[in-house]
């Protein structure tokens, strides 16, 4: 259990998809990247929110780093959420704050740092997501795909140990290929975070994946990726 970032056990969602296995089980290793493919956007969003403890499942349990989330107190849950990134189209930015204020809110709140210092530290990330020129804009002024990139930046600035993300609209395929995939590849290589990516089609993200669960005819078919040219085999050997 301690070797897992996330365990969803005997899970039944509030809006459980009729064709899904009931109950549903999922385990995600500490540095594993798992793709959950063939999942409709609504279902992916709900699953990710349940895994991030933002929603309660109808049945079953969610364990994050071995801790059963239902048994945690409110402050413990907040502390746990600071260790994970959850990126889903259902989640929002704070509309009355600018993009910059949205991005620095967490670090400023918990580390008592100034906004310019936080932005300076994360400027490479903001440049990679092409957000540098949009820092003074308010979220409602942004197109959906840009707002989603801001959400990505905000969550990655938490330096998470686990990334839960819904891939697909509003991100355009170009955004995914040009901005998100290289970023996640780097993130995986440098920080070795666990990732659960869910969406209708995740072919683009197979270079990241250790495992793929493809939903097909009422079942999840499991595929393992032992090696990939962008993720050589030695990453499986934690020698350092």
Partner 1 sequence: MNLLTPISNLFAGLPGALSQVWFALSRAVLDYSSRLLSICALYYRLLVSTFSERTGWRLMFQEFLKQIYFTSVQGAHVLIFSALMLGLVVNLHATQELTRVQGEEYVGWLLVTIIIREVGPVWAAFFVLLHSGSAITVELGTMAVTREVEALELMGIDPYRYLGVPRFWGLIVSLAVLYVLMALAAVLGGFLISQLFGETFWEKYWGSFLHNLTSMDVALGFSKITSFGGIIATVSIYFGLKAERHLGEVAAYTSKGSLVGLVLVVSLDIILSTAYYL
- In whole angstroms, what is the distance from residue 64 CA to residue 49 CA? 13
Nearer to partner 1, 85 or 197 (CB): 85
Q: Mutual orientation of helices 181-191 and 144-156 as an angle, nearest 10°?
A: 10
Measured from the CB of residue 231, what is the shortest distance to partner 1 in angstroms? Answer: 28
When the beta carbons of 52 and 209 are compared against partner 1, the nearer one is 52
User: Does residue 223 sit in helix, strand or coil?
Assistant: strand
Binding mask 153-192 for partner 1 (x = CB under 8 A): -xx--x----------------------------------
Out of 2, 18, 71, 75, the only residue in the binding site for partner 1 (CB under 8 A) is: 75
- 198: CB partners within 8 A, 6+ apart: 35, 36, 37, 39, 44, 47, 48, 165, 166, 167
From CA 107, how far away is CA 60, in angstroms rounded?
A: 33
13 binds partner 1 (CB under 8 A): no
The secondary structure of residue 52, as a DSSP letter, is T
Among 1, 12, 56, 92, binds partner 1 (CB under 8 A): 92
Positions in the binding site for partner 1 (CB under 8 A): 52, 54, 74-75, 78-79, 81-82, 86, 90-95, 105-106, 108-110, 112, 154-155, 158
């Amino acid at each position: 259990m301690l070797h897992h970032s996330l365990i969803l056990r005997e899970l039944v969602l509030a809006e459980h998809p009729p064709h899904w296995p009931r109950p549903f089980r999922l385990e995600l290793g500490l540095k594993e990247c798992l793709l959950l493919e063939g999942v409709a956007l609504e279902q992916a969003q709900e699953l990710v929110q349940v895994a991030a403890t933002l929603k309660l499942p109808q049945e079953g349990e969610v364990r994050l780093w071995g801790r059963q989330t239902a048994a945690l107190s409110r402050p413990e849950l907040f502390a746990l959420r600071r260790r994970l990134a959850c990126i889903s189209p259902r989640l929002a930015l704070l509309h009355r704050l600018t993009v910059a204020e949205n991005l620095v809110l967490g670090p400023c709140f918990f580390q008592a740092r100034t906004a310019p210092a936080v932005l300076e530290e994360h400027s490479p990330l903001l440049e990679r997501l092409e957000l540098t020129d949009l820092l003074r804009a308010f979220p409602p002024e942004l197109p959906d795909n840009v707002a989603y990139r801001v959400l990505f930046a905000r969550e990655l600035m938490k330096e998470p140990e686990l990334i839960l993300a819904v891939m697909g609209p509003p991100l355009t395929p170009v955004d995914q290929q040009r901005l998100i995939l290289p970023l996640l590849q780097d993130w995986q290589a440098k920080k070795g975070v666990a990732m659960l990516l869910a969406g209708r089609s995740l072919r683009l993200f197979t270079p990241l994946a250790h495992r793929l669960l493809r939903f097909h005819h009422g079942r999840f078919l499991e595929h393992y990726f032992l090696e990939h040219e962008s993720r050589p085999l030695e990453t499986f050997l934690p020698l350092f």
